[in-house]
Amino acid sequence: MRKSDTNPGSSPIWSAPCWSIQELGTDTTTEGAEPFSLQISLGGKSPVRLPKSIADPSRLRKLRAYTWHYGGHAWIAGMAPSIAAWAERNLIEMRVWRQPPSGDASTADVLAGMLAEFLASDADWMIYLDADVMVHPLAPHPLDDLSEPGLWVMPEPEQLHSSEDRQAGVIKHLQRGTESNHNRCNDGVFLLDRATAENFLLYLRRPLMSAMTLEDHFNLCLRDAVSDGKIVWRPLPAVWNRLPPAGEPGRKHRAWFYHCSGEDKGKVLATWQLQGFLPMPRPSMTIKKWTEKAPLSDLIAIPFHLEGDPMKGESLRYALRSIQKHWQHPWPVIIYGTARPEWLDEGIFQLEPSYTQALLRAFSQADRVLWVNDDMFFLMDTSVEDHLIQIASGDLIPKIPELLASDNIWNRSRGHIVSRLHHEQGLDHLRDFSVHYPCLYEREKARQAFDHFGVWHKYPLELAYHGLHRSMSRPADEYATFETRDLPGKRWLNVQDPAEVGEIWSQWMTARFPNPSRWEIRV
């Protein structure tokens, strides 16, 4: 079954192998083979990829994974957790080899030691990953796809031979040349079964000269073992060992394992993330523990930054008037701001130094929070029922690279959230909930979004919240801009920069909301 047969609307950024109604295979006949995917829709929510159950009783072959950490490389801390998480998720025993090399020859000794330890265990298969391999959060169990016995390793035709110095060293030391039809392979990732490991280990244990690298030795032994008919070499699909591309990023560069080779591995990893092939890193965060019970059941929360407001609080004034006129419930209102306008009742004002603190404070204080910005206005009577299905538009998954490359911090923040939802949660479609209208949130679900993504300045809460919780959505047909404010059926108005509209905005607001709200100080 081809991907195009099951999922014609898949994302141009990523399509993951998955399991839902039936297990799907992967075409491994070509270097550029792409994974297949199958999507289902859960009760009208965003389509989601379902990974194969890690507790599937049909998975009877035991796999042991090896990697090698030595030295004080900073990049290891960025990549090692992805390998460990993949192994834990797929019930793969993980072994981290920490023997430091004492010379070039010791690298092959380490590999031989890994093979010997594997053969002394009860595992059926072994997979090796270099420390500079970044594993995608949704990477499956390799034996789901690569089941035939042999040594699976990826060919690198452009690196067919060693350098001239190394070729001369191989000829002198081992009395043989390196000319053959064997394609040089990248030993950064390889997979082999127990019987193959027993035979390959015999070749790896032969004497090694110091001028040879591990990859030189690996390829020479692989060539000889295959030529002698002792092992079967199988080309590992590049989705299991994707090296950085030489040209522009494209669809063919998707993978489960990204091999960040080169001198600046951190830069390579950052490039993969910006191009949309890996999720953005989790930000560091410290969020104070909330009280177990919120002091309020319901709350209308409005963040406000007086110093940066071109309207000097007038927009907030009319937002409050629209709430009093059209919100159908007696909910308390709190303004979380950096300074209080002189006309505002101090009883509803709480001083908060930043938008981030306003978010955390508001959602710690009530079980349900209607989050309203000071440039949002109610135009019709509105109740909780009008907010149970969220307004959204478009699909953000194809826009991940564009958002991450934006000069606008808000768009970059949206790109961060979308990238992580796409890669970590498996969403292949994500509606854009950032349409800037009043949003209703539940306290515990908001806390889960903060805990999962973190929180920062220009944090797109609506996207993090509704994406994480797979909220249903509806078109934004009741949402008005200043140009469409007088059209019938418009329930909310957003004027992102009232100062640009000027006197027209003031006259219209005064006519629409002439009566002061109960939160204004009357002079």
Interval 49-69: pLDDT, tens: 444 444 444 456 799 999 988
Overall average pLDDT of the 182-193 stretch: 87
CATH architecture designation of domain 285-394+431-523: Alpha-Beta Complex (3.90)
β-strands 93-97, 376-378 pairing: unpaired
Contacts of 39 (CB under 8 A, 6+ apart): 6, 7, 9, 10, 18, 47, 48, 49, 428
The confidence score (pLDDT) of residue 370 equals: 97
Q: What confidence category does residue 227 fall into, taking pLDDT thresholds of 50, 70 and 90?
A: confident
Average pLDDT in the 87-93 region? 92
Q: Give the pair of three-digit tokens for residue 408.
A: 């606008």
What is the predicted pLDDT for the residue at 436?
Answer: 83
C-alpha closest to that of 425 among 413, 433, 417: 417
The 3-class SS string of 305-333 reads: CHHHCCCCCHHHHHHHHHHHHHECCCCCE
Mean pLDDT, range 450-455, rounded to an integer = 91
Kindly report the pTM of this predicted structure. 0.75
> Which position has the higher pLDDT, 170 or 267?
267
Query: pLDDT tens for residues 130-151?
Result: 999 999 999 999 998 898 999 9
Q: Which amino acid is at 330?
A: P
- Res 109 pLDDT > 80: no
Please say if the pLDDT value at position 101 is more than 70: no
- Per-residue CA distances from 327 to 253, 318, 369, 442 (Å): 50, 13, 13, 18
- pLDDT bucket at 486, cuts 50 / 70 / 90: confident
Tens of pLDDT, residues 463-482? 999 999 999 998 888 888 88
Could you tell me which of 264, 13, 235, 315 has the C-alpha nearest to residue 132?
264
pLDDT higher than 60, residue 43: no
Please give the helix or strand (H or E) that residue 413 lies within, else none: helix 409-425
Tell me, what's the pLDDT at 275? 84
Report how far residue 48's alpha carbon sits from residue 86's, in angstroms, rounded to the nearest whole number. Answer: 19
Q: Are 304 and 316 in contact (CB under 8 A)?
A: yes
> Is the confidence at residue 513, as pLDDT, over 90?
yes
Give the per-residue pLDDT at 368.
Answer: 97
Q: What is the mean pLDDT of residues 118-135?
A: 94
Q: Which residues pair with 128 in a beta bridge?
A: 66, 190
Which is more confident, 245 or 51? 245
- At 341-364, the pLDDT tens digits run 999 999 999 999 888 999 999 999
* Residues in contact with 388: Cβ distance below 8 Å, sequence separation at least 6, in sequence order: 440
Confidence grade of residue 207 (pLDDT, cut at 50, 70, 90): low
- Our CA angle for 382, 386, 388, nearest 5°, is 145
Rg of the chain, C-alpha, whole Å: 29
Is the domain covering 61-274 a CATH 3.90.550.10 domain? yes
Q: Which of 39-43, 170-174, 366-370 has the least mean pLDDT?
A: 39-43
| Percent of the chain predicted with pLDDT > 70 | 77
Q: Which two tokens stand for residue 413?
A: 């923040």
Domains 61-274 and 285-394+431-523 equal at CATH topology level: yes
Instruction: Read off the pLDDT of residues 288-336 as tens digits, 9 standing for 90 and up.
Output: 788 889 999 999 999 998 887 777 888 899 999 999 999 999 999 999 9
- What residues contact residue 336 under an 8 Å CB cut-off, 6+ apart? 301, 302, 303, 304, 350, 352, 357, 358, 361, 362
Domain residues of the chain, as ranges?
61-274, 285-394+431-523
Mean of the per-residue pLDDT values of the chain: 79
pLDDT value for 351: 95
| 381-394 pLDDT tens trace | 999 999 999 889 89
User: Distance between CA atoms of 66 and 112, rounded to whole angstroms?
Assistant: 12
